Structure 1
Amino acid sequence: MTKPRIVIIGGGNGGLLSAHRLADVADVTILEAGIDPGDPVPHEFLHEHAFPEHDWDYTNEDSGHHLVRGRVLGGGSSVNAAAGSRGQPAGFEAWGEGWQWDDLQPAMRALETDEQFGSEPYHGDTGPIRITRLKPGPLDLAFYEASKAAGHPECPDHNAPGTQGYGPWPTNRVEGGRWGALAAVAPLVRERVTLRPSTMVDRIVVQDGRAVGVEVNGGEEVIPADLVILSAGAYGSPEVLWRSGIEAPEIGEGLQDHPWVMMNVLARDEDDVMARPVSGSLLRAGVADDPSDEFQVFPFSTWLYDRTAPRNSYSVSVALMQPESRGRVYRDDAGETRISLAHLKDASDLERMAVAVRRTAAIIDAMAETGIVAVPDDAWWKQDDLTSALREHVETYNHPVASCGIGRTVDRRLNVVGVEGLKIIDASVMPRIPDGGPNLVTMAIGWIGGGIVLEDLGL
């Protein structure tokens, strides 16, 4: 029996995880615009955080801020902070039939090996993605004490359903470095698929309403396919659809991201920062004590991401995890892709973010009282007009999702509406942003999407 030919556009979380499930029963080709760093993974892709030469160079038109997106095998998971948080069960209620918390859990468990809680029924202990919680540094411990004094409970496992409080980040950054799709999944598929790095996709070829192949590298080649899986991410997937002349519903609309601000202080000693510069401590709490409306506080080394910052700069960052605002990916009159994240556009987001910042400021002040950090005299969050300050300082948590959402651009089996033989399997299909990072959730979508393809093919 001839194996079906499946072409996957994009080697990020969605693409690699779906390829992992399909590689033994199909002739799978992965087209990745970026490089394949190889196996073993080079040091920088395990430990570094600034990759201008491996970035798609997107910009948020609202603010002019750069939007980090990895142009490399592994996609965003090769350049991110390696957060391994799933979000709360209630955050998936809006996803609809087949995509609820209980539907996602088998994939979550299959993906992970949780080094502390793998024996718990909601965790896994045999999957390729290692999840751990790193030993706290001095600033993490001070953050814990200040959070406790503010009335927050201790939370040893932020991936336990329904829990909130302060505790160590669940992370796929183990002591050997970033253990994401590049380090953990790519080695499982390289010898089982045709992997084509540094290959730019021009368009999906559609004939008589069906995807039949993918044109690459300026039209020099068309790769035939029985099924095309688009996994180019929340910004890239709409672009590929437009270049292909596909007019599915609401392409690029409904984009969501977590609004995020940095409250920068100076540590007493740069060694305190660098003892645990990233993936250390995390606080999750309900805005105005509403547990269903969550904000996150994530301290980290500013210098890791901004080499112009002092090495003792410490960013206490705050994110609103259930935003109502929605932006869009769209084409301007010249046909260029534009991105508007529309952070804090909804009035309720602005109000709730102000509450989260005030509550975080109290924690920072408590840390400052111990002398471990110093608050700048001109701290923006101390301004009388906090609303204006928030609009000026809001940035992105770099969690873009939902630009080709289920129920809009794709159906519940991830088929692109109006085109046969074409699925989208990446973060763009999320109907609504979860109240955790999309890293593991996108891997779960890749895992489930691969299973859907197996069912569709009767394999």
Structure 2
Amino acid sequence: MSGPRGGPAAVYDYLVVGAGSAGCVLAARLSEAPGVRVCLVEAGPADDDENVHVPLGAGRLFRTRLDWDYDTHDEPFLGGRRLYLPRGRVLGGSSSMNGMVYMRGHRSDYDGWGLPGWTFDDLLPYFIRSEDNERGRSPVHGAGGPLSVSEGRSRNPMSTAFVEAAVQAGHTAVDDFNDPDVREGFGLYQVTQRDGRRCSNATAFLRPALERPNLTVETNLQVHRIVVEGGRARGVAGARLDEAVELRAEREVIVCTGAYNSPQLLMLSGIGPADELRELGIPVVADLPMVGRNLQDHPSANLVFAHSRPVSLLIADGAEHVRRFAEEGAGPLASNVPEAGGFARSRSGPAPDLQFHASPLMLLDVGLAAPTDHAISFGPCVLGARSRGSVTLASPDPTAKPRIRHAYYGDGDGADLATLVAGLRMALEISRQAALAAYTEKPHLVPESDGEADLRDYARRCTQTLFHPAGTCAMGTVLDAGLRVLGVEALRVVDASVMPTLVRGNPNAAVTSIAERAADLVRGTASVPGTVSVHNTASVHNTAPGRGVTGSGTAPAAGAAVRGGAAGSPV
């Protein structure tokens, strides 16, 4: 097996697998030390598609070569429906195709993990370090960091009307959802944009680092397994098209491939539930039963109202709006789609259990169905959901898609479904307010009534996901509090999969903060106080799955590099 150029396997200090939200942060931060050799490996291509950078273009990336294009398997509590799960397969990962909402989550989310070093107060300095908020520096916000956070520049009148209607329905108005003292209310979301264009984590963190001679970025290279010898991660093996490629890590391998692909890669490498791995003929390296378990998400259901006013995002391709975006970085092409929303409670508790998103267009089938009229779409999602799903291997073939089942509303006592039903009632109440009257002329997709049976039926028929998977390589069961894989040396996981429970809100900011702290943990500038209780003890096997790393390897060539073979392009 050869390195990227056909010679011996290249050797680095750190291999970062996956150039998504976390991987871009880690590659940038670790390569700040000139003497440290860092290689970032991405299965997809460079982020040079214009639809990555024009905010409204994200929907045009669905089901394309830049999308892992996953689906759930039959969801038993949704009538057997299968839900589409887009995931970015490109530099920037899902931060190159998400809704760009900048949301940290609730203080109790992090404090509730009960992990040393991971409370909200522990992470707040990392949120601030990464942030460049156009409102300026404050005790809870940063200025001058890599990640641009700004006000939305679409300024659609329907988004403002939605917030006004929520206030008319009795909710409070919120100016800053990321103020730790704010508990609930409605307002316009801040977004990760710079001058009206998407500021993905590739744009924010990776691009400024590309001129460093100690950083190499390999695109169009899919890692198939982690090479483990003697209980230690020594490198990775994968392929670019039909060419087998091997890379070596002298210090650590860091997996950042997301809540679906990270557990898949661990299991393909022999790290996971031993019985299931043996059934697939995969030699067991570490028996970790919770790899791929504990899958969480934010189930959601929208109401859709059509109307006659030509103000929805259907107008975005008009010449005047194209010109405005080109000259000002504003207008409908700058829309992140979920422009407004808020938080509410269906019951008493320490934190909101509902989040709302409002989008100024007809949003059907999570954006896969073309809108036919001007419309507004809004609805609740469940926060703190109790349901848990799983990611398992469908095949030992590393190019096969994993088997994903979220088991939405499978919590047993019906609490998650009851929460969504309560949220639908709130959404219907908001829809009846005077501020939205001009935009709710024709109900297009709404429940038959606000009766319990109709709302429950609607929820099961119309539930979609907000694309916020987490929890499948969680600290405390798969990882220790330093993000190290239990039972395997020199191997960490850093992405949304490490969260024991999913944060309340859109998770990209949280993943960025986790990666910022992870970089300090790897560099040794952050410590892990105390110890973490491990609920599933790892059983370690020192037999590597397949052939190990051989040969002395070669150091990467001097000078920054982005290499992707014939299919790749420099960024």
How far apart are the structure 1 equivalents of 2:526 and 2:133? Answer: 32
Percent of aligned pairs sharing the same letter: 30
How far apart are the structure 1 equivalents of 2:26 and 2:518? Answer: 6
Of the structure 1 ranges 368-377 and 292-301, higher mean CA displacement relative to structure 2 is found in 368-377
* C-alpha contact (below 8 Å) 2:302/2:379 kept by paired residues: yes
- Alignment match, 1:10: 18
Does residue 195 (structure 1) correspond to residue 217 (structure 2)? The answer is: yes
In structure 2, the CA distance between the partners of 1:378 and 1:129, relative to structure 1 (3 Å rule), is closer
How far apart are the structure 2 equivalents of 1:209 and 1:114? Answer: 43
SS at 2:112 equivalent: helix
Give unmatched runs, 5+ long, in structure 1: none
| Offset, 1:261 | 0.9
Residue of structure 2 aligned with 1:429, choices 467, 487, 498:
498
- Please give the residue correspondences for 1:267-282 in structure 2 after superposition, counting only pairs within 5 Å: 267-273=307-313, 277=335, 278-282=337-341
In structure 2, the CA distance between the partners of 1:89 and 1:455, relative to structure 1 (3 Å rule), is same
- Alignment match, 1:57: 69
How far apart are the structure 2 equivalents of 1:327 and 1:43? Answer: 32
Letter paired with 2:304: N
| Offset, 1:279 | 4.3
- Alignment match, 2:247: 223
Which structure 1 residue ranges, 4+ long, deviate > 6 Å from structure 2?
none
| Offset, 1:200 | 0.9
Coordinate RMSD, CA, aligned? 2.3
Does residue 23 (structure 1) correspond to residue 31 (structure 2)? The answer is: yes
Please give the per-residue CA displacement for 1:320-342, whole angstroms capped at 9, x wherever unaligned.
12111111111247776211111
Instruction: Tell me the number of residue pairs that the alignment of Structure 1 and Structure 2 aligns.
Output: 453
In structure 2, the CA distance between the partners of 1:296 and 1:457, relative to structure 1 (3 Å rule), is closer
SS at 1:293 equivalent: coil
How far apart are the structure 2 equivalents of 1:300 and 1:291? Answer: 28
How far apart are the structure 1 equivalents of 2:359 and 2:83? Answer: 19
* C-alpha contact (below 8 Å) 2:224/2:237 kept by paired residues: yes
- Alignment match, 1:67: 85
How far apart are the structure 2 equivalents of 1:160 and 1:268? Answer: 37
- Alignment match, 1:32: 42
Please give the per-residue CA displacement for 1:157-212, whole angstroms capped at 9, x wherever unaligned.
11111312111102113443111212211212222310001001111100011110
Please give the per-residue CA displacement for 1:57-115, whole angstroms capped at 9, x wherever unaligned.
11111131210100000000000010101111012122222111011111100010111
* C-alpha contact (below 8 Å) 2:27/2:206 kept by paired residues: no
Of the structure 1 ranges 170-179 and 354-363, higher mean CA displacement relative to structure 2 is found in 170-179
| Offset, 1:42 | 3.2
In structure 2, the CA distance between the partners of 1:184 and 1:367, relative to structure 1 (3 Å rule), is farther
| Offset, 1:367 | 5.0
SS at 1:167 equivalent: strand
* C-alpha contact (below 8 Å) 2:306/2:376 kept by paired residues: yes
* C-alpha contact (below 8 Å) 1:159/1:170 kept by paired residues: no
TM-score, scaled to structure 1: 0.93
Does residue 88 (structure 1) correspond to residue 128 (structure 2)? The answer is: no
Larger radius of gyration between Structure 1 and Structure 2: 2
How far apart are the structure 2 equivalents of 1:14 and 1:362? Answer: 39
- Alignment match, 1:214: 236
Give unmatched runs, 5+ long, in structure 2: 1-10, 76-80, 273-285, 316-330, 528-571
Residue of structure 2 aligned with 1:165, choices 164, 182, 185:
185
- Please give the residue correspondences for 1:341-420 in structure 2 after superposition, counting only pairs within 5 Å: 341-346=406-411, 347-366=414-433, 370-376=437-443, 379-380=446-447, 382=449, 384=451, 385=453, 386-420=455-489
How far apart are the structure 2 equivalents of 1:7 and 1:457? Answer: 20
Letter paired with 2:456: T
Letter paired with 1:232: T
In structure 2, the CA distance between the partners of 1:381 and 1:432, relative to structure 1 (3 Å rule), is farther
* C-alpha contact (below 8 Å) 1:87/1:435 kept by paired residues: yes
How far apart are the structure 2 equivalents of 1:114 and 1:107? Answer: 14
- Alignment match, 2:262: 237
SS at 2:438 equivalent: coil
Please give the per-residue CA displacement for 1:393-435, whole angstroms capped at 9, x wherever unaligned.
1111100011000001111001111110100011110110000
